[in-house]
Structure 1
Amino acid sequence: MIRVDDWVTTDDLNLEPEALLAVKELSNTMVEAGPGAGKTELLSQKTNFLFNTRLCPEPKRILAVSFKKDAAANLLNRVVLRNKPEFSIRFTSKTFDSFAKSLFDRFRNGLPSEWYLSQDYTIDLTERSLKEICSQYGVHANRQEEMNNFKSEFFPLNGQEMSDRARSIWDGMLVGANGQSILTFSMINWLVIVLLKNNPKIVRAIQNTYSHVFVDEFQDTTTLQYELLKECFFHSESTVTVVGDSHQKIMGWAGALDNAFEEFSNDFNPSRYILVFNRRSNKKIQNLLWHFNQTSVAPELPFENRGRLEAWSFSNDIEEAMEVAKQIKKLIDNGMPPNEICLLVKQTPYRYIDKLDEAFKVYGIRIRDEGNYQDLLKENISILILNVLKAAMRIDYAVSWQKIFELKMEFSGENLSVSNKQYERILRSAKSFINNVSAELHHVAVPDDLYTLFQNIINYFDVRMIQAKFIEYSDIRYLEQISEELNSCLFEYFLQEQNWEKAIRMISGEGIVPLMTIHKSKGLEFHTVFLIDLSDSSFWSYRDEPIEAKAALFVAISRAKENFFCTLSTTRHNRTQCKSLISEFYEVMMNSGLVDFIRFS
C-alpha cells in the first residue's frame, strides 16, 4: 500500500496542478475540462491513486459510466495501460445503457407486477416500434420536439403521474410482438429506476460493490441517466466524480440535461476543479477555439504559425470532393497515416459519401462511413475476437497477445505470478490456440467458415465466462448478433483484399480515412480535420438551438491537433446553399485573423 501523500502519477506523467488536486480529492468531485485537457488521463490516474492507496480496497470496484461506447472503451484501455492487471480487473467501464441493462437483467424480478414483461425481450435500438405505437395514440414521434415533450409524460419521475395515453403505449410495448416484449434503452433505464425505488436492498448492494463512480462526458447526461445515478449513489458512502465540458454539450436533441453541472453541484455538493490546458491542439487552433468561446478562464495564447486553419468555398460539391481528396493525398504522400485524417459532417454521412468516395478513388484513397463500424468495433466481443485474429496474424502482436492472455488468466481464476504452475499451462494452451486460429483462418473460404472460427474463439474463452464479465451479453442472442455483424464486415473486406492481414487491418480502420458525424467524433482526435459543408443547410438547428449548434462547431475544431479545414459549396445535391443563418461562425473566423479564406473556381 502507498500512503496518500507518497503517491505519484504513474509513468511519470505531469498533470497540471488542478488535475493533480482532482485526482487526490477524496470527496465528490466535479471537473470541468476543455478539449484536449486530458479528462481520460485524469480518470486513469485517479484509478491508479485509489487502488494503490487502498482507498478502493479489495473487493470494492470502481464504476465508470460514459455516454458512448468508444468513450467507455478508451477509458478502459487507458486504465489497463496505467494499472497493474490485478487492479484493472476491478475497474468496470460501461455506457449508461449497458449499466442500466446489466442491472435490469440481474434484478428485473424485483419489478412491481404491473410492469411484468416476457422473459425474453427485444431491444428496439432505433425506437421504430415505439414510434409506431406512439403514432397510434396521436404522438408524432418523428417530430423531435414533440417526442422530447412526450418523454416527460412517458417517463414520469419524482412522484409525477403517468398519463393514460403513456400507460397504453407502455402496455403495447410490454405485450410486444408475438408475446415478446419490446424495450428501448430509455425504457430499461426508467424501469431500473422504478426497480431501485422499490428495492432498497439492491441499492445497498450496488453501493457496497462500487466505492467510487466516474461519469465521463457529463454534459451529455440525460435526465433519466442522471436520475439513475442519483438512485444508485445519492446520499451514499460511494464517491462520485464527474468530468465534462459544458461548451461541448451537443446532445440536447437526445435529452441531455440543460444544466447538468449545476444540478450535480446542488445534489452532491462536490469539490470543483477547472482544467484549462489543451494538450491536444497546437496554439493556433487553441486561439481559434478561444475566439469561439471567450471566457475569463483561458486567455488568448501567444501567436504560433504552425498548422493550417482554412475555410474553403466551391461552386459545387464535385469540385469540393476533388480538392479535399487532392489535399489528403498530399498529406498521405508526406507520411500521414490515413486514419490520422478525419472527414466530419454535421449529420447524415450517407448524403456525402458517394461524391467523396468517387473523388477519393481517383487518388487511390479509401474512405468509409465510420458510423457503420464504430459501435460494432467497440463491442467487447468484437475486441476479443479481433485481438485473437491480430495475435494469430502477428498484427500489433505484443498488445493483442497481452490482452487475450490476461483475459484467459482472469477467466481461469489465476493470478499473474510467474511462479504459478497453472500460469505455464495456460501460456502453452494460449500459444497453441493462437497457432490453431492462424491455421484455421488460412482455410476460411466462405462466411460460414469464418463464423465457425468465431465460435471456436468464443468457446475457448467459455461463453459463460464472457457473459459473466460482459453482462451486456447475458442474452446470448445479442452476442450472436454482434458476432454475425463482425463476421459479415470482416469477410467483405477479405473479398476485397484476398488477404487476411489486410482485411483485419482494414476493419480496424488502418489505411482508411474515416467519415463521421461530429457527434460520433466526441472523445477522438486527429492530426487533420476536414469539416465538410459548414452551411445553413447542415447547421439548420442554429435557428432554434444556437448554443448547441455553436458547441458542435467547437467540438469539430477541437478534434484537430494540427490542421483544420472547413468547406462550403454553393450548390449541393443540385440545391443552392448559403451561410446567412450561421454568418456568426464565419465572422468569428474572419475576425480572429487566424483563418485563411480560399475560393476555388
Structure 2
Amino acid sequence: MTHVNVSPAQHLRAPNSSRLVPTADWRPIEIDDLEPTAWDALRDCGNVAVVAGPGAGKTEFLAQRAAYLLQTGICPWPHRILAISFKRDAAANLRRRVTTRVPDHAERFVSMTFDAFTKGLLDRFSPALPADWRKKEDYEIRYATDSDVSRFLNDTATVAPVALRYHIAALQSAKFLANIVGGHELPKSAWAEDPADPVEYAVRAWWSARYLREGSAYVDFVMINRLSELIVRSAPQLRRALRVTYPFVFIDEFQDTTSAQFSFVESVFGNGNGPTVTAVGDSKQRIMGWAGALPRAVERFTTTFAATSYPLAWNFRSSDELVQLQHVVASALDTQSLPAISKAIAEVGHDPAVIWQFPNASREATFIADWIARDIAASGRVPADFALLARQKIAEFEPLFRAGLALHGIGVRNDDEAVGKMRLQDLLKHDATRLLLGLFRLAAEPRGLATVWREVSAILTRIDGAMDDDLALRQVGEKLAEITNSLRSWLKLNPPTKDSVEEAVCYLLDLIDREALHRYVKAVTPGEELDVVIDAFNARIANVAEAGGLWAEVFERFEASQAVVLLTAHRSKSLEYHTVFFLGLDDQQWWSHERNRSESISTFFVGLSRAAHRLIFTTTTTLARTGKIADLFKMLDAAGVPEIVHK
C-alpha cells in the first residue's frame, strides 16, 4: 500500500507557543458566556454527548470547544480537529465560525460533511480495499429510486432459492438501502457462496448487481460509507493515521446518523484508545428517519462510546412565549422533555404565535405579501428577517408569493431550487461560491464591502496556506488587490450578457488559479468536486443575468441576501428568522403524517422552532382541524395559539 497521508494539502506552521492560553484563563470568544452545563461539556476530557435543543447554540458551542482545545494546546500542533456535519451549509457555517474566532489555528480545524469525508477516503485509499473489492474501473454515483429497489427485490426473489423467495419479496424497498444494505458490514472476502439467510442473500445480490458488476461500479453514499469502513478496517495503518491526525472529532446533528454512518464512526474512532468524540444532537429533531436515521442515535452513542451526557437548557433564539409552545410539541415527542429557558429579549406589540386561515392560496399570498411590506415599512426590518416555510412542495408556493412580493419591490429566494447538480442553499454556502461571488462584488462595488473583503481574504489565505505568516499574509492582500483591479477592468469592458457571464467566471478562475482552488476544495471537503460547484455557479449567474442591469445588480440577484427566504422545514435546520410563516397546515402538505407521526411531529417541531419572535401558521382549509393533522392543531390549542379567519 502507498504511504498513508490523511492531512489536507496545506503547509501547517507551528503556532508560537507563547500564544497558548492556560486552561484556567481561557474565555469564550465573541460571546459573553456559556451556560454552566456547556462549560462542563467544553472542559470534559472524555467523550461527550451534548443534547442541544432549538436555539441552544450548538454550532456556537462546537466553535467555542474548538477554540478552547486549539488555544490551550489540549489539541497540540500539528494535530487537528475533525468536524463532521450532515449538511454542506452546516459544515461551512461551523468552519467560518472557527476561522473567525481563532484565525491563527483555523487551518487545523477540518469541517466537512459525512459523505464528503467517506467519499474522500474511498477516492484516495481504494487500493487498500481487499482484493475481492478492488475495481479497475472508476465508479459512478447513481441513486436508486424506490421503484428501482422494488423491482430489484422482485427480480432477486424470482431467482433465489425457493425457501428464500417469500422473505426477500417481503422486504420493504423504502428501507432496504439505508437500513439493510447500510446495516450490513462488508466481509473482507466477497461472498463465495449464496447465503442461506434471505436478508444476507439480498444484500449480496445488491452488491453483485451494482458494485461487483463488469465495468464501472454504481454506488450511492450508503455504499460509499460501507466501502470506506471496509478500507479502514482492512488497513490498520490508515486507521492509526486517522486517529493520530484527528485526536478530537465533532459530529453534529447526531440524531440523523444512519446505520452505515454509526458503524463507520464506531469502526474508525471507537473501540477504545481512540480520539475524543463530541456528539451534538437532539432526538426531538430527528427528521431523517425516511433516510435511515437510527432511532435514539444519541443515546446509542452515549452507551457505545461511554460518553457523558450534557443537556443544554438555555434557548438564545426564541422569546419565552415561543419557547413555551416548543415545549408543548417537544413533550409530544418526549414526555420527559424539560422546558428550555429563554435568553432572548422578547418583543411587545404582537402575538408571538397565531394561526391565519384563508379562503384560498391566492388570498393567502396577497395578504401575507402586503403584511410583510407594511411590517418592513413600520419596523425597519429587512426582507431577510422573514421566512416562508413549508413541510414540502415548496415550489408550489413560489409563483404566487413571488408575484405578490414583487408588487412591493421585495424579492423571494427559493433555497430548495435546483441549480445544476446542487440546491441553491448548498451553492450559496460553499467556500468556492463565497470566494467567486465575493471577488465579483468587490470588483463591481469597490467601496463599502469590508465584510466581504475580510471573508474573501480569509479564504484566499487558506488556499495559499498563509496562516500565521506575516509576509505571506501581506502577499495575499496584494494578490487580492491585483485580482479585483484586473477583474474590475474586465467587467467595465464587458457588460453582463448571456455569453459574458460565463466568460467572466472563466476569467476570474484564471486570475485566482483554478488548480489551487481545486486543491483547496479537495483538501477541505474531500469527495466534493469543484466542477460541480462551478457548473452550478454558472447556471445561477446565467439565470439571474437574464433580468439585465449592471454587474453589481447581477451579483446582488445571485445571492439575493435581502430577499424573503422560501424553504422546506428540512432545509431550515440550524437557521433562524425574526418572523416565520409556516405555510400549508393541511392534509396535502402533511399527507404522510399518519405513516410516521413521530418523525412528522419532529419536522413540525424543527420548522416552528426557527422563529425568534413571531410564528404564523397558515391554512387554506377549514377541514384541517379534523383531518390527518388534527393532533398538530390540538398542540397549538394546548399552547393557547389563537386563530384568525381572513376572508
TM over 0.5: yes
Deviation of 1:329 after TM superposition, in Å, equals 1.7
Tell me the equivalent position of 1:391. Answer: 442
Is the 1:218–1:245 contact (alpha carbons within 8 Å) kept by the matching residues of 2?
Answer: yes
1:538 and 2:589 matched? yes
Q: Is 2:206 aligned against 1:169? A: yes
Q: How does 1:261-340 map to 2 (within 5 A)?
A: 261-294=298-331, 295=336, 297-298=338-339, 306=348, 307-308=350-351, 309-334=353-378, 335-340=380-385
Of the three residues 96, 99, 117, the one matched with 1:99 is 117
Q: Secondary structure at the match of 2:578?
A: strand
Per the alignment, residue 480 of structure 1 pairs with 531
Q: Does 1:597 align with 2:643?
A: yes
The Cα shift of 1:555 comes to: 1.0
Distance 1:78 1:461 in 2: 24
Give the match's secondary structure for 1:55. coil
Call closer, same or farther: CA 1:523–1:253 in 2, change over 3 Å: same
Contact 2:388 2:582 in 1 (8 A): yes
Please say if residues 149 and 173 of structure 2, whose CA atoms lie closer than 8 Å, have aligned partners that are also in contact.
Answer: no
The equivalent position to 1:451 in structure 2, one of 502, 505, 514, is 502
Shift of 1:482: 1.9
Cα distance in structure 2, aligned partners of 1:533 and 1:501: 36
Q: Where does structure 1 lack aligned partners over 5 or more consecutive residues?
A: none
CA–CA distance in 2 between the matches of 1:301 and 1:433?
Answer: 46
CA distance in 1, matches of 2:607, 2:135: 42
Aligned pair partner of 2:98 in 67, 72, 79: 79
| Kept in 2: contact 1:118–1:174 (CA 8 A) | no
Give the corresponding residue for 2:160: none
- Counterpart contact for 1:248–1:551, Cα < 8 Å: yes
Distance 1:155 1:283 in 2: 41
Is 1:435 the equivalent of 2:485? yes
Does structure 2 retain, via aligned residues, the 8 Å contact 1:525–1:561?
A: yes
Q: Does residue 600 of structure 2 align to residue 549 of structure 1? A: yes
Q: Is the contact made by 1:318 and 1:355 (CA closer than 8 Å) also made in structure 2?
A: yes
What CA deviation, in whole Å up to 9, does each residue of 1:55-90 have, x standing for no partner? 11111110111111111111111111211x230111
CA distance in 2, matches of 1:163, 1:221: 23
Q: Deviations over 1:272-292 (max 9, x none)?
A: 111111110111111111222
SS of alignment partner, residue 295 of structure 2: coil
Change (3 A) 1:493 1:250: same
Distance 1:146 1:396, change over 3 A: farther
Letter in 1 for 2:576: E
Code of the aligned partner of 1:347: Q
Q: Report the Cα offset of residue 53 of structure 1.
A: 0.8
Residues 460 and 112 from structure 1, CA distance in 2 versus in 1: closer, same or farther, beyond 3 angstroms? farther
Give the one of 219, 229, 237 matched to 2:274. Answer: 237
- The answer to whether the aligner puts 1:63 opposite 2:43 as a matched pair is no
* Matching of residue 219 in structure 1 with residue 255 in structure 2: yes
Specify which of 23, 26, 36 is matched with residue 55 of structure 2.
36
1:453, distance to aligned residue in structure 2 (A): 3.2
In structure 1, C-alpha distance between the alignment counterparts of 2:507 and 2:273, rounded to whole Å: 44
SS at match of 1:570: coil
Query: Which residue in 1 is equivalent to 2:107?
Result: 89
Partner of residue 453, structure 2: 401
Task: Give distance in 2, aligned partners of 1:305 and 1:407.
Answer: 37
1:450 Cα deviation from its structure 2 partner: 2.9
Aligned-pair CA distance for 1:172: 3.5
- 1:181 counterpart = 2:243: no
SS in 1 for 2:456: helix
Alpha-carbon separation, structure 1, partners of 2:626 and 2:241: 55
Where 2:574 maps in the other structure, the secondary structure is coil
Residue among 381, 384, 391 paired with 1:346:
391
Residue 45 of structure 1 pairs with residue 61 of structure 2: no
Q: Distance in 1 between matches of 2:150 and 2:286?
A: 28
1:135 and 2:151 aligned: yes
Farther-moved stretch of structure 1 (371-380 vs 15-24)? 371-380
Quick one: structure 1 residues 180 and 380, their matched pair in 2 at CA, closer, same or farther if it must change by over 3 Å? farther
Q: Once the 2 structures are TM-superposed, how far is the Cα of residue 398 of structure 1 from its aligned partner?
A: 2.1
Shift of the alpha carbon at 1:133?
A: 6.7
Equivalent position of 1:466 in the other structure:
517
Opposite residue 173 of structure 2, the aligned amino acid is: E
Structure 1 Cα separation of the partners of residues 435 and 172 of structure 2: 40
For the structure 1 residues 232 and 131, does the alpha-carbon distance in structure 2 shift closer, same or farther, using more than 3 Å as the test?
farther
TM-score (structure 2 length as normaliser):
0.84
CA contact (8 A) 1:390 1:396 kept: no
Is contact 1:506–1:512 with CA below 8 Å preserved after alignment?
A: no
Q: 1:409 to 1:210 in 2, by over 3 A?
A: same
Range that drifts further, 457-466 or 333-342: 457-466
Does the C-alpha gap of structure 1 residues 182 and 474 become closer, same or farther in structure 2, counting only changes over 3 Å? farther
* Contact 1:311/1:596 (8 A) holds in 2: yes
Aligned residues: 589
Q: Which amino acid is the alignment partner of residue 519 of structure 2?
A: A
Residue aligned with 1:470, SS: helix
Does structure 2 conserve the Cα–Cα contact (< 8 Å) formed by 1:284 and 1:305?
Answer: no
Identity of aligned pairs, percent?
30
Q: What is the alpha-carbon distance in structure 2 between the residues aligned to residue 132 and residue 296 of structure 1? A: 40
2:529 aligned counterpart, secondary structure? helix
Tell me: CA distance 1:298–1:362, structure 2 relative to 1, closer, same or farther (3 Å).
same
Structure 1 residue 447, shift from structure 2 partner: 4.4
Q: Which one-letter code corresponds to 1:359 in the other structure? A: G
2:126 to 108, 111, 123: 108
Q: Secondary structure at the match of 1:315?
A: coil
Q: Distance in 2 between matches of 1:350 and 1:12?
A: 38
Q: Which residue of 2 aligns with 1:8?
A: 27
In the TM superposition, residue 352 of structure 1 has moved relative to its aligned partner by 2.4
Looking at structure 1, the residues matched to 346 and 481 of structure 2 have their Cα atoms a distance apart, in angstroms, of: 51
- Matches of 2:531 and 2:330 in 1, distance apart? 46
Aligned to 1:192: 228
SS at match of 2:393: coil
Aligned partners of 1:228, 1:459: CA distance in 2, in Å? 39
Partner of residue 582, structure 1: 629
CA-based RMSD: 2.9
Distance change (3 Å), C-alpha of 1:151 and 1:7: closer
Counterpart in the other structure of 1:490: 541
Deviation string for 1:321-369 (max 9, x for gaps)?
2222222222232322111111111012122223333333344432232
1:543-577 Cα offsets, whole Å, 9 max, x none, are 12112111111111110011100111128xxxx76
1:202 lines up with 2:230 in the alignment: no
- Aligned CA distance change for structure 1 residues 282 and 292 (closer, same or farther; 3 Å): same
Relative to structure 1, is the Cα distance of residues 471 and 428 closer, same or farther in structure 2, using a 3 angstrom cutoff? closer
Using the TM superposition, give the Cα deviation of residue 243 of structure 1 relative to its aligned residue in structure 2, in angstroms. 0.9
Q: Residue 12 of structure 1: CA displacement? A: 5.0
TM-score, with length taken from structure 1: 0.90
The CA distance in 1 between the partners of 2:125 and 2:323, in whole Å, is 47
The one-letter code matched in structure 2 to 1:297 is L
- Of 548-557 and 326-335, more deviation after overlay is shown by 326-335
Shift of 1:155: 3.4
Distance 1:384 1:305 in 2: 37
Matched AA of 1:546:
R
* Post-superposition CA distance 1:514-535 (Å, at most 9, x none): 1111000001000110011111
